[in-house]
């Protein structure tokens, strides 16, 4: 199987031998404390180094009280939704958006509205029109979920003026912004755009990120930065949900930051993923039909392809999976599924370099023969 | 501070050097796979050894498909509640019951009804009367939460006939039973009562347990056993909640079972906790007023004391904390708070042997002088 469907990191992106060393140091240094309950808000040693880390890497000024450690950033998203969104209330997402964010909002029975993105990210003009229309109807948007950098599933980043405009709209229309910053450090150039939250003068942004893409997803460690009052409320819900995130994982995260293992790993894996993305887009440009559109990701794990024809990519998947090639059909990322019917998310993070070219070629063949090619 | 309030294991109960060895073996054997995402349902290697472990230790016959690995058993409780209890629906708990179970039900806005326990556990006669009354009123109980062995906070276990009667009532009145088996292996005698779920002919019991008391709470690993259909639904909610439990923690759990580290640890710490409980109850019998009632725990971490007088133990706590002694006032464990106003939960798990006697003596002094003693 050539798997362009999953968002699993490349096995080589996980610094196993560094982590082996860290594990031994953690047990030596923390002893039983690495294996005991930690406060629900998080292991104090981890929170402390995180404040420095997010300042250095994302331009964020956070006090320890502003941080909640979560079981992956997925949990942060779920906790925020439970606190701020009541069933039936309006949540806005980018179209397309992260599938498991949509799942969280659906589980909460939120009223989900999708706003299109283009090459410069969220169409804030359409957003503004929608907000005005909703206001006229007496409806209120509770929150907007966005991934401003190297978005999942498109790989697109929001332009700086749109980011600023989004912050202004949040203040004017009184909504919160969830900034999911999971792929921020995996930008292929060395320009580091600060977090949207670092420009937030109004206290509208709830910032979340994770160690899953930069260190190891199996640790299940994410973090949420917001005002202390919000963090306290979220921690109370988290306590009922899981008492706290793995203490061992948090101690590992603390050591990995202290020893600059994450910094070094990020420099290494950015190059790895850039090579894989280049292979993928070259292959797409070579093997896919000419009238398609694809994104040009500046980072992250994913390329988004629009086939620009009347076709449901769920059907393409049925064929390609018979030939051993998986991807994720566009509809799954969209509220207005028709708009994404002919789209596909192609993940280059996990498959090997060799298999990327072969897999794209197989997909190209299927697309060229009008989706009827049997597996060859 | 002498802390009889927390349910933290004794630091000596965490087998740090065994776990250090296991960590190294895990990295050698699993490599990056111990640090990659695992399936939301759980790491297959862990689920496999768990089926054998619960069969051997708890008499449970579970297939791998019947198991969901959770982030502590706390998460299992929360997921079950979200799946089965809608806001306003009735949940029955033991009176007193585990505080963070009450919190889960409150967070769900359930209608919580408490049923008294006595030395033989849940008063199934009162339960039956309540069920009949509710039925007459056209109301239905969705589920009952019970800790049949070495209950938190009382240390009491349910008698075998009451267990059987509870199972029959569940069938007759069509409700589910959550069996929280967290302290089951920490019984002070060597009689091992099988899990309630092992006697469940009707598929009414959702079984949950944890590695927190037998291995290490900081791993945040629990597990839930139920019918495969239920597990699939719960896994879908869990995916939105945290994607999955720490892969590393699960791999450690698998190794700890395979290498009999848990078995050996349980034998060792049962003796440790028995010594501490004996110290505590001897001190209570020596220093507390004679008219009080205390439980005689057969295992677990806690002694429950009823002062049998008109006093709010929240007031006792205010005084005792000034003298450096903490415990948890009874009201916090109860729905009908008045019934537990004069009660206290005293945890012997975490404080040192020396401090147990001193702490109980201080509490005794405070109680003797009609709760007016200043700290001496």
CB contact under 8 A, B246 and A38: no
Q: What is the pLDDT of residues B122-172, one digit of tens each?
A: 999 999 999 999 999 999 999 999 999 999 999 999 999 999 999 999 999
Q: Are residues A46 and A178 both part of a single domain?
A: yes
Q: Are B255 and B288 in the same domain?
A: no
Bridge partners (DSSP) listed for residue A305:
A294, A344
Tens-place pLDDT, residues A155-190? 999 999 999 999 999 999 999 999 999 999 999 987
Under the banding of pLDDT at 50, 70 and 90, the label for residue B342 is very high
A92 contacts A130 by C-beta, under 8 angstroms = yes
Residues of chain A found within 8 Å of residue B252, distances taken between Cβ atoms: 248
Q: Determine the pLDDT at residue A375.
A: 61
CA angle B209, A27, A47 (to 5 degrees): 80
Q: Residue A373: inside a domain, yes or no?
A: no
Distance of CA A358 to the CA centre of its chain: 27
Q: How far apart are CA B278 and CA B297, in angstroms?
A: 10
pLDDT digit string (tens) for A31-69? 999 999 999 999 999 999 999 999 999 999 999 999 999
Residue B209 has pLDDT above 80, yes or no: yes
Q: How many domains does chain B have?
A: 2
CATH number for position A346: 3.90.1150.10
Question: Could you tell me if residue B100 is left (phi over 0), alpha (psi between -120 and 50 degrees) or otherwise beta?
Answer: alpha
- Closest to B180 in 3D by CA, of B226, B146, B139: B146
Same domain for B279 and B341, yes or no, is: yes
pLDDT of B374 reads: 58
- Per residue in B85-96, pLDDT (tens digit) is 999 999 999 999
The answer to whether residue B216 neighbours chain A at the CB level (below 8 Å) is yes
- Give the DSSP letter string of A67-102: EEEESHHHHHHHHHHHHH--TT-EEEEEES--HHHH
How far is Cα B232 from Cα B210, in angstroms, rounded to an integer? 20
Residues 38-77 in A contacting B (C-alpha not used; CB under 8 Å): 38, 70-72, 74-75
- Contact between chains at B36 and A11 (C-beta distance less than 8 A): yes
Return the sign of the alpha-carbon dihedral for residues A243, A247, A252, A256.
Answer: positive
Q: Do B37 and A219 touch (CB under 8 A)?
A: no
Is A197 inside any structural domain? yes
Residues A89 and A164 in one domain: yes
Within this chain, do residues B88 and B170 fall inside the same structural domain, yes or no?
yes
Q: Which residues of A are less than 8 Å from B74 in CB distance?
A: 240-243
- Point out the domain boundary residue: B244, B261, B278: B261
Q: What is the CATH number of the domain that holds B151?
A: 3.40.640.10
Same domain, B364 and B227: no
How confident is the model at residue A373, as a pLDDT? 56
- The torsion angle over the Cα atoms of residues A246, A250, A256 and A257, rounded to 10 degrees, is 150
SS3 A25: helix
Q: What is the pLDDT of residues B258-297, one digit of tens each?
A: 999 999 999 999 999 999 999 999 999 999 999 999 999 9
| Single residue among A234, A262, A290 that ends a domain in this structure | A262
Q: What is the mean pLDDT of chain B?
A: 96
Q: How far is CA A352 from CA A21, A358, B300, in A?
A: 27, 10, 51
- What angle separates helix A247-258 from helix A44-58, to the nearest 10 degrees? 40
Please list, in sequence order, all residues whose beta carbon lies within 8 angstroms of the beta carbon of residue B72, skipping any fewer than 6 positions away: A242, A243, B210, B212, B217, B220, B221, B222
The alpha carbon of residue B206 is apart from the nearest alpha carbon of chain A, in Å, by 17
Q: Among B68, B80, B8, B20, which residue's Cα sits nearest to residue B44?
A: B68
Cβ contact, residue pair A74, B242, below 8 Å? yes
Max CA separation in chain B (angstroms): 62
Tell me the mean pLDDT in the region A212-236: 98
Question: Which of B11, B27, B103 is opposite residue A240, by nearest beta carbon?
Answer: B103
What are the two backbone dihedrals, phi and then psi, of residue B337, each rounded to the nearest 5 degrees?
Answer: -60, -30
| B372 pLDDT higher than 90 | no
Look at residue A332 and tell me if it is in a domain. yes
Note whether residue A102 is domain-resident: yes
Q: How does residue B376 score in pLDDT terms, banded at 50, 70 and 90? A: low
Indicate if B129 and B186 belong to the same structural domain. yes
B213 touches chain A (CB under 8 A): no
**Residue in A14, A32, A244 closest to B32 by CB:** A14
Per-residue pLDDT, B190: 78
**Residue A237 dihedral angles phi and psi, to the nearest 5°:** -70, -45
Asked if residue A375 belongs to a domain, the reply is no
Boundary (domain end) residue, out of A210, A234, A262: A262
Q: What mean pLDDT is predicted for residues B225-229?
A: 97
Residue B368 has pLDDT above 60, yes or no: yes
Q: From the list B100, B220, B240, which residue is nearest A239 (CB)?
A: B100
Residues B98 and B157 grouped into a single domain = yes
A297-317 pLDDT, tens digit each:
999 999 999 999 999 999 999
Q: Are A208 and A176 in contact (CB under 8 A)?
A: no
Q: Which domain holds residue A293?
A: 2-12+263-368
Query: What 3-state class would DSSP assign to A145?
Result: strand
Q: Any alpha helices (H) in B195-343, and if so which ranges? A: 228-242, 247-258, 261-287, 313-322
Q: Chains A, B: CB contacts under 8 A, how many?
A: 155
3-class SS of residue B83? helix
Q: Is A244 on the interface with B (CB under 8 A)?
A: yes
Are the Cβ atoms of B237 and A74 closer than 8 angstroms? no
Clarify whether residues B191 and B228 are in a common domain: yes
Taking CB atoms and an 8 Å limit, are A218 and B100 in contact across chains?
A: no
Percent of chain A with pLDDT over 70: 98
Question: Are B95 and B237 within one domain?
Answer: yes
Name the pTM for this structure. 0.96
Q: How far apart are CA A322 and CA B284, in angstroms?
A: 71
B216, A78: Cβ pair inside 8 Å? no
Confidence of residue A372 (pLDDT cuts 50, 70, 90): low
Same-domain pairing of A57 and A205 = yes
Confidence of residue A191 (pLDDT cuts 50, 70, 90): confident
CB A139 within 8 A of CB A90: yes
Residue count (chain B): 376
pLDDT digits (tens, 9 = 90+) for A234-269: 999 999 999 999 999 999 999 999 999 999 999 999
Q: Hunting for tokens 């009707």 — which residue is that?
A: B202
- Tell me how many helices (H) and strands (E) chain A has: 11, 14
Nearest CA in chain B to A70: B242
Kindly tell me if the per-residue pLDDT of A324 is higher than 60: yes
| Domain presence at residue A289 | yes
Q: Contact B220/A242, CB-based, under 8 Å? A: yes
Residues of chain A contacting B255 with CB distance shorter than 8 Å:
none
DSSP reduced 3-state for B86? coil
* Residues of chain B neighbouring A245 (CB-CB closer than 8 A): 71, 220
Q: Which residue has the tokens 């009052």?
A: A229
Rounded to whole angstroms, the Cα distance separating A99 from A263 reads 28
Helix (H, G, I), strand (E, B) or coil at A329: strand
Interface contact B20-A24, CB threshold 8 A: yes
Residues 6+ apart with CB under 8 A from B123: B115, B116, B117
* A238 in the same domain as A279: no
Question: If DSSP codes are grouped into helix, strand and coil, which group holds residue A118?
Answer: strand
Higher-pLDDT residue of B369, A125: A125
Asked if the structure places residue B87 within a domain, the reply is yes
pLDDT band with cut points at 50, 70 and 90 for residue A192: confident
Q: How confident is the model at residue A125 (pLDDT cuts 50, 70, 90)?
A: very high
Q: Please check whether residue B121 is in contact with residue B157, taking contact to mean a CB–CB distance below 8 angstroms.
A: yes
In whole angstroms, what separates CA A314 from the centre of its chain? 23
B256/chain A closest Cα distance in angstroms: 14
The pair phi, psi for residue A231, each rounded to 5°, is -60, -40
Angle at the Cα of A39 from the Cα atoms of A36 and A42, rounded to 5 degrees? 105
Query: What count of other Cβ atoms lies within 10 Å of the Cβ of residue B41?
Result: 20
Predicted pLDDT at A190 = 77
The confidence band for B15, taking pLDDT boundaries of 50, 70 and 90, is very high
Report yes or no on B373 lying in a domain. no
């Amino acid at each position: 199987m050539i798997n362009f469907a999953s968002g699993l990191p490349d096995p080589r992106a996980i610094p196993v031998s560094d982590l082996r060393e860290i594990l031994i140091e953690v047990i030596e240094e923390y002893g039983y404390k690495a294996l005991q309950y930690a406060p629900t808000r998080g292991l104090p040693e981890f929170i402390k180094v995180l404040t420095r880390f997010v300042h250095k890497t994302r331009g964020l000024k956070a006090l320890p009280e502003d941080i909640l450690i979560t079981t992956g950033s997925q949990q942060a998203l779920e906790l925020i939704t439970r606190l701020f969104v009541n069933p039936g209330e309006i949540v806005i997402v980018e179209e397309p958006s992260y599938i498991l964010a949509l799942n969280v909002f659906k589980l909460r029975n939120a009223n989900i509205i999708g706003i299109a993105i283009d090459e410069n990210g969220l169409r804030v003009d359409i957003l503004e029109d929608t907000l005005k229309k909703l206001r006229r109807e007496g409806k209120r948007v509770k929150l907007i979920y966005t991934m401003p950098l190297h978005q999942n599933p498109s790989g697109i980043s929001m332009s700086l003026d749109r980011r600023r405009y989004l912050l202004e709209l949040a203040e004017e229309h009184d909504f919160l912004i969830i900034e999911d910053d999971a792929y921020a450090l995996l930008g292929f150039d060395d320009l580091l755009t600060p977090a949207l939250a670092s420009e937030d003068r109004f206290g509208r942004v709830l910032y979340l990120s994770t160690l899953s893409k930069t260190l190891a997803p199996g640790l299940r460690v994410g973090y949420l930065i917001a005002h202390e009052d919000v963090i306290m409320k979220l921690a109370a819900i988290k306590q009922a949900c899981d008492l706290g995130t793995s203490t061992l994982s948090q101690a590992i995260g603390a050591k990995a930051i202290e020893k600059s293992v994450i910094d070094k790993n990020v420099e290494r894996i950015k190059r790895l993923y850039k090579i894989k993305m280049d292979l993928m887009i070259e292959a797409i440009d070579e093997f896919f039909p000419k009238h398609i559109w694809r994104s040009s990701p500046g980072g992250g794990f994913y390329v988004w392809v629009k086939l620009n024809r009347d076709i449901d990519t769920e059907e393409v998947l049925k064929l390609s999976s018979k030939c051993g090639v998986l991807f994720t059909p566009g509809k799954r990322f969209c509220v207005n599924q028709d708009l994404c019917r002919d789209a596909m998310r192609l993940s280059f993070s996990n498959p090997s370099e060799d298999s990327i070219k072969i897999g794209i070629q197989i997909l190209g063949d299927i697309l060229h023969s009008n989706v009827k090619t049997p597996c060859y």
